[in-house]
Amino acid sequence: MIDVFEDSLLDMPLLNTHKMRLSRYNIGMDTTNTEDQQDVQHSENANLRPHKLKDYIGQENVKKTLKMFIEAVKKRGTATEHVLFYGPPGLGKTTLVYILANELQGEIKITSGAALQKSGDLAAILTNLKDNDVLFIDEIHRIPKPVEEMLYPVMEDNALDIIIGKGPSARTVRLPVAKITIVGATTKLALLSAPLRDRFGLILRLDYYQDKEMEEIIVRSSKLLNLPITDKAATEIAKRARKTPRIANRILKRARDMYEVDKHEIIDEQLLEKLFSLLEIDEVGLQKIDRKYIKMLATKFSNLPVGIETIASALSEDQQTIEEFIEPYLLQLGFLKKTPRGRVLTTQALKHLGISVKQNDVEQPTLV
């Protein structure tokens, strides 16, 4: 419930920040170029996104489940369940939300958990929605507790509870809300409270893509960007994209830069060889900091177990960067082991960089 005197419904959030026009404050200031650049970037990302479920590549189980959900909603004529997507970043959660809204033939309203700081923010959004609309809350785990609790009756009863007045004269009013589909997306499912998580009727996890699926995504994106590319070049990009479409598209756009600047006729292996050398990406997608991490453990510490604080000091990086940016992909490749005593490289990691370490040093010492 919310107090309309404390959280005024007039304090409405700006849902689509790319449409903001700060003309009141732009005294003698020309922002045309900045806005044009943002519009171009937004247009590119939107153009690369598929609009239909049948055009979406990969995540076959998720697609089958969503197809059944969409067909059931169309048959009933109204949405009765809400959807939660979770998984690592860059795998297509936002794209699936756009597809879902398009298939349900409703408008999509976008906000984020961090933007919903007050109950009035959420109330202002909900009162402007229509039946079959989709409310997408990105990074939903960042919603404050009072706003989260306000969502409960909306998700279950399509109702919004507010309090009018204060003290003995205060009274509760329940306002009807349109029959909408609330879609949440998060990279950290564990940070969602159990009451909120259990109110989603459909919880779908997006996993990393297969190499073949990555190649299909790259070929599709190159066609949308009008870029000629060889099959071998698409394979090479897929190898370095860390099984993540966002990274694949990012590499492809940098290849487009080199293709246009150096006036190449096609994106092939020769162009990519120069590009990967410039970006310092090796054949399995390791970047300079990743190789530095491996070499440090292998040479400085003879591949003996090392704690995270020691690694952070040796690399001059903070612990969070190491744990959330560097180590996950090394663990995924099987290059790193986390033991109770510290981090240890696997033989596979040493072979990849051609580092020779004594076998006795590689194995963890036996505890007596």
| pLDDT 10s digits, 72-114 | 888 888 777 899 999 999 999 999 999 999 988 888 999 999 9
What residue spans of the chain are helical by DSSP H?
Answer: 32-48, 60-76, 93-103, 119-126, 145-157, 194-198, 211-224, 231-240, 245-261, 269-279, 288-295, 308-315, 319-321, 327-333, 347-353, 359-362
The whole-number pLDDT of residue 29 equals 37
Alpha-carbon span 155 to 140, nearest angstrom: 14
Residues of the chain falling short of pLDDT 50: 3-42, 360-364, 367-368
Alpha-carbon span 151 to 159, nearest angstrom: 9
Catalytic center residues: 93-94, 138, 187, 246
Q: Check the CA dihedral 75-77-82-87 and report its sign.
A: positive
C-alpha pair distances (Å), 344 with each of 311, 321, 357: 11, 18, 12
Alpha-carbon span 35 to 289, nearest angstrom: 34
Please check whether residue 181 is in contact with residue 66, taking contact to mean a CB–CB distance below 8 angstroms. Answer: no
Angle among Cα 11, 13, 18 to the nearest 5 degrees reads 145
The whole-number pLDDT of residue 251 equals 96
The predicted-structure confidence for 128-142, as pLDDT tens digits, reads as follows 898 888 999 999 999
Alpha-carbon span 72 to 202, nearest angstrom: 13
| Block residue for tokens 């033991």 | 339
The Cβ-side half-sphere exposure at 268, using a 13 Å CA radius, reads 5
pTM equals 0.80
The whole-number pLDDT of residue 227 equals 93
The whole-number pLDDT of residue 358 equals 64
Please check whether residue 79 is in contact with residue 133, taking contact to mean a CB–CB distance below 8 angstroms. Answer: no
Please check whether residue 239 is in contact with residue 210, taking contact to mean a CB–CB distance below 8 angstroms. Answer: no
346: how many CB neighbours lie within 10 A of its CB? Answer: 17
Of 105, 160, 80, 157, nearest to 127 by C-alpha is 160
Alpha-carbon span 281 to 46, nearest angstrom: 27
Alpha-carbon span 138 to 216, nearest angstrom: 27
Alpha-carbon span 310 to 211, nearest angstrom: 35
Q: Check the CA dihedral 348-352-356-357 and report its sign.
A: negative
| Block residue for tokens 């949405």 | 79
Of 96, 93, 90, nearest to 244 by C-alpha is 90
Please check whether residue 153 is in contact with residue 159, taking contact to mean a CB–CB distance below 8 angstroms. Answer: yes
